[in-house]
Structure 1
Amino acid sequence: MAAKKQYTAIVLGASGLVGKALLYQLCQDDKYSNITCLLRSPLAQRDYHDPLNKIQAIVIDFDYLQDYQGYFTVDHVYCCLGTTIKKAGSKKAFRRIDFEFVHVAAQLARAQRASSFVWISSVGANAKSNNFYLRVKGELENAILTMPQLDNAAAVRPSVLLGDRKEYRQGEAIAANILKLISPIMLGPLAKYRPVHAQQVAAQMISLQVFK
């Protein structure tokens, strides 16, 4: 019997809410043999469970992400990078992280011929939106999904995320509490606006990758 193929992956943003959930699931997934994480700061051991030593964690300066192109020679690229305008400090800084860094990651995935590229967008993403956050997310979707020679690119579009964050985000916490209360009546077109657990988003990201 032929040995089952194993896959390699790179994760950007593994220390965030979805990133941590994703890293946990990848470590438990026997389809993956090696997981490279590019991070701003070292992973805290309490944040992941890696009994088979799959993780290679590398601290980098994302302003020079293009210098780490060689690490993108993997099967699957997962991009969980993202912030808020408040945390970034300005719209310009927010766009730098949520658009430019993710766009560069997609270009590196293409250059190294990764099998697939999956990233986190947002429900309501629209390049023509009057909302700056949703407009940036929509512009990024347009830029990546029309990128030539980038095979199998896909975005997940979660609503408000549920889970334990390192930092407290008051606006998201209030929205999550309200949406949890009314979630049972959010049916049909409104269902996509239900709050979603980080673990569910991570599982969806894995399901969108190409295994061949």
Structure 2
Amino acid sequence: MVSPQKTATVIGATGLVGRSLVQQLLVSPEYSQVTCLVRRPLGNNEFHDPEKKLQPLVIDFDYLQDYQGYFSVNHVFCCLGTTIKKAGSKSAFRYVDFQLVHVCAQLARAQRAQGFVWISSVGANKHSKNFYLKVKGELEASIFTMPQLEYAAAVRPSLLIGSRKEYRRGERFGLKLSRLIPFIFVGPLKKYKPVHADYVAQQMIQLQPE
């Protein structure tokens, strides 16, 4: 007997991991429909979608609650994320990386999604003195203790490898350093080794419940 195909909603489909994730879902025989909530229309050749599974929807992220019906799927993937430099301030960064992701988790819970998976960061710790890692850690603590959320999981990548649409100086420097001295990423430091976005996307899919 063939198992029924799953449905998925992706928030943050145009980022480095999000693009790879959506493409993997579109070619996966396990998924029949992939809804992408985006800020602006997707390009005509943004994704290879041979079976016409993709359903993009341009939304206002300041009013995520108005789109809660799109969270009534098997699996919700949240790939939202920014940097303090791009956001413009710590409060603006927290709005994207904590508040919006947290709202997505709440909507997944309210709509009884079977699984919610999002992108955190290696070193995430709510007690960290590093603001970025502190926010990521606070988000983890909040979502993992959210009552009545059937299943939640986070991927914690280090520096991401892939073709970005934007330039990130710190990330580029870290990747160059990792190529010059790859021997340092062993033992306890192995988790800090740069990882390709395709692998992170694959992990997110694998973390979802059956």
What is the CA–CA distance in structure 2 between the aligned matches of 1:146 and 1:19, rounded to whole Å?
25
Work out whether residues 179 and 194 of structure 1, in 8 Å CA contact, stay in contact via their aligned partners in 2: yes
Contact 1:99/1:137 (8 A) holds in 2:
yes
For 1:1-212, what aligned pairs fall within 5 Å after superposition? 2-211=1-210
Residues in 1 aligned to 2:176 and 2:136: alpha-carbon distance in whole angstroms: 24
Q: CA deviation at 1:151?
A: 1.6
Give yes or no for contact 1:17–1:198 (8 Å, CA) kept in 2. yes
Letter in 1 for 2:47: Y
- Superposition misfits of 4+ residues, deviation over 2 angstroms: 180-185
The whole-number CA distance in structure 2 between the counterparts of 1:45 and 1:156 is 29
In the TM superposition, what whole-angstrom CA distance separates every residue of 1:180-208 from its partner, at most 9, and x where no partner exists? Answer: 33234411111100000000000000000
What's the secondary structure of 1:47's corresponding residue? coil
Offset, 1:158 = 0.1
Q: How high is the TM-score relative to the length of structure 1?
A: 0.97
Q: Distance in 1 between matches of 2:4 and 2:180?
A: 44
Residue 170 of structure 1, CA deviation = 1.1
The normalised TM-score by structure 2 is 0.98
Q: In 2, Cα distance between the equivalents of 1:180 and 1:61?
A: 40
Once the two structures are superposed, residues 83-139 of structure 1 have per-residue CA deviations (whole angstroms, 9 ceiling, x without a partner) of 000000110100000000000000000000100000000000000111100000000
2:20 partner letter: A
Distance in 2, Cα, partners of 1:169 & 1:77? 27
Measure, in 2, the Cα distance between the counterparts of 1:180 and 1:33: 39
Give 1:27 deviation, angstroms.
0.6
* Counterpart Cα distance in 1 of 2:93 and 2:81: 8
3-state SS of the aligned residue for 1:38? strand
> Are 1:41 and 1:59, in contact at CA under 8 Å, matched by a contact in 2?
yes
* Structure 2 counterpart SS, 1:210: coil
Shift of 1:43: 1.4
Segments of structure 2 that go 5 or more residues without pairing to the other structure are none
TM-superposed CA distance for 1:175, in Å, is: 1.1
Q: Distance in 2 between matches of 1:34 and 1:130?
A: 41
CA RMSD of aligned residues (A): 0.9
Secondary structure at the counterpart of residue 56 of structure 1: strand
Aligned residues: 210
User: What is the CA–CA distance in structure 2 between the aligned matches of 1:23 and 1:167, rounded to whole Å?
Assistant: 19
Q: Secondary structure, in 3 states, of the residue corresponding to 2:45?
A: helix
Query: Hey, what's the Cα distance between the residues in 1 that align with 2:180 and 2:145?
Result: 38
